Amino acid sequence: MMKTIPRKQLLAELSKVVPRDILLDSDEAMRPFECDGLSVYRKLPLLVALPENTAQVREILVSCNRLGVPVVTRGAGTGLSGGALPLEEGLLLVLSRLNRILEIDPLSRTVRVEPGVRNLAVSEAAAPHGLYYAPDPSSQIACSIGGNVAENSGGVHCLKYGLTVHNVLEVKMLTAAGEEIVLGGPSLDSPGYDLLAVINGSEGMLGIITEVLLRLLPLPETAQVVLAGFASIEDAANAVASIIGAGIIPAGLEMMDRLSVEAVEDFIAPGYPPGAEAVLLCELDGGEAEVAEQMLHVRALLKENRATSVTVSASETERLKLWAGRKNAFPAVGRIRPDYYCMDGTIPRRELSRVLAEISEASHRFGLQVANVFHAGDGNLHPLILYDGNAEGELERAEQLGAEILHLCVQAGGTVTGEHGVGMEKIDSMCEQFSAAELEQFHALKAAFDPAGLLNPGKAVPTLNRCAELGAMHVHGGKLPFPDIPRF
């Protein structure tokens, strides 16, 4: 069971089993760890531990388990949903020092890494063998593999190459009690339940990841990108449907709305068409002949769908320049207002125009601008709500608008989070997406892995009480979401 103990006691207990200098206990030293990429939530933990090897991780877990101290795991801290937000009464376990690439096997096309290895470092290490690691979340220069697995991270190439879960073969983890369990392996499947599928995206709630075996893919022979401008979002959305309907699976298919396009033009001038209501970036990769064949087809489809401009990259430099606009969209939008709040809903593609129109309506109603950047190929939206954290009540309004956008996504048959995770941020929206029985099933599954409930408690899956307390905020069709449980 979870207990609250004083900082001094935890420090004394852990100092017995691990070197004192891997533990941080002063407020000043712990300050950099008080939040992850979602900085509106901040909290100082009871203690920070920065273990250097798996043996130390195990010692720390065994002690915390004995003392009943909850453990929040953190990788590079780039997460966007507050999943690594510390708990006041808990230990923050930072795995960034477990950063060795243990083995690359070019013949089997696998790489074995510790959880603190950065995503991009994997592809860099594999490159001499003509291989790479496909999932490329936008934070790939900084984010680490352990966090990628915990969040089941995506990226711009998901439609063709899948999410993290599709590219992980094995995970070694420690339970809250410090017991090692191996999920998956070098073979393509394992006997019994596919728990590897469950650990991906489990947000540090089920186990502490200590080693990961990743699948590598051959580097494509070539890649080419085409940029198209449109006079309406609807035309752009129709172009997306046409491309996919024609049997083409692009490596990346990204859309940006007018506000985002203007912001990046002001910021780095990538040469996006002025005055376009939407731009579409479509990347094709594969063999030279295949890419050339498909590019002809895509260009024709863009024109058919009334593209107002079409630019194809003629060189690698041009390809990177066209992508630079999309990749700088967040910081560019960040220059319009002091703060932005990034949403992460996913909807069926066919709902795109309708949902965007409703977001626009809500944006006017709340008096906050929304810039839309999204992975059009897989329906994953990243509306950026612009606000000023120093202006009275704006953050609260931004959060309310955010909740309304997630509500729109759920109503459209989608989900509240496509790739950023629930963490602390979207925990209340989970009450809307799932029934009481479904949430209880999640809790039961967690208890199978973590019976004492010590790993990242309070994140990812809300308690029924929390949902009940929220009931007033989530009244739909005159019915409370959980009419059969007590109210507080």
Site for other proteins in 230-269 (CB under 8 A): 241, 244-245, 247-249
What radius of gyration do the chain's Cα atoms show?
23
Should residue 123 be labelled a site residue for other proteins when binding is judged by CB under 8 A?
no
Contact between 312 and other proteins per CB under 8 A:
no
Residues in region 14-73 near other proteins by CB under 8 A = none
Q: Which of 338, 273, 344, 347 is nearest to 310 (CA)?
A: 273
Binding of other proteins at residue 445 (CB under 8 A)?
Answer: yes
Looking at residues 146 to 205 of the shown chain, list those that interact with other proteins (rule: CB under 8 A): 151-152, 154, 158-159, 162-163, 165-166, 179-183, 185-195, 197-198, 200-202
Q: Closest approach of Cβ 2 to other proteins, in Å?
A: 19
Q: Which of 438, 465, 473, 476 binds other proteins (CB under 8 A)?
A: 438
Contact window for other proteins (CB under 8 A) among 69-77, 261-269, 320-328, 412-420: 412-420
Q: Does residue 143 belong to the site contacting other proteins (CB under 8 A)?
A: no
Residues 44 and 481: their CA atoms lie apart, in Å, by: 34
Q: DSSP states of 307-327 as a string?
A: EEEEEE--SHHHHHHHHHHHH
Rounded to whole angstroms, how far apart are CA atoms 172 and 142?
22
Q: Which two tokens stand for residue 194?
A: 């596919």
Cβ atoms 438, 377 nearer than 8 A? no
Q: Is 140 in the site for other proteins (CB under 8 A)?
A: no
For other proteins, how many residues bind (rule: CB under 8 A)? 94
Q: Which of 208, 352, 359, 430 binds other proteins (CB under 8 A)?
A: 430
Q: Diameter of the chain by CA atoms?
A: 70
Residue from 29, 108, 331, 396 that binds other proteins (CB under 8 A)? 108
What dihedral do alpha carbons 350, 377, 231, 383 form, nearest 10°?
90
Q: Which of 29, 55, 141, 289 binds other proteins (CB under 8 A)?
A: 289
DSSP 22-71: GEE-SHHHHGGGS--S-TTS----SEEE--SSHHHHHHHHHHHHHHT--E
Round to whole Å and give the CA distance between 242 and 356: 19
Which residues from 373-392 bind other proteins, rule CB under 8 A? 375, 378-380
Q: Measured from the CB atom, is 92 or 240 closer to other proteins?
A: 240
94-116 residues labelled b (16+ CB within 10 A) or e (exposed): bbbebbebeebeeeebbbbbbbb
First to last CA, the chain: 24
Q: Which is nearer to other proteins, 265 or 442 (CB)?
A: 442
Alpha-carbon gap, residue 70 to 452, rounded angstroms: 9
d(CA 246, CA 248): 6
Q: Which residue in the set 461, 464, 468, 470 belongs to the binding site for other proteins (CB under 8 A)?
A: 461
Q: How far is the CB of 349 from other proteins (least distance, A)?
A: 6
Q: With binding defined as CB under 8 A, does residue 220 bind other proteins? A: yes
Binding other proteins (rule: CB under 8 A), the pick from 66, 350, 476, 487 is 350
Give the number of residues written for the chain: 488
Looking at the Cβ atoms of 91 and 206, the one nearer to other proteins is 206
- Rule CB under 8 A: say whether 434 interacts with other proteins: yes
Element counts in the chain: helices (H) and strands (E): 17, 18
In this complex, which beta carbon is closest to other proteins, that of residue 58 or of residue 337?
58
Q: Is 300 one of the binding residues for other proteins (CB under 8 A)?
A: no
Q: Which range touches other proteins (CB under 8 A), out of 23-31, 362-370, 432-440, 474-482?
A: 432-440
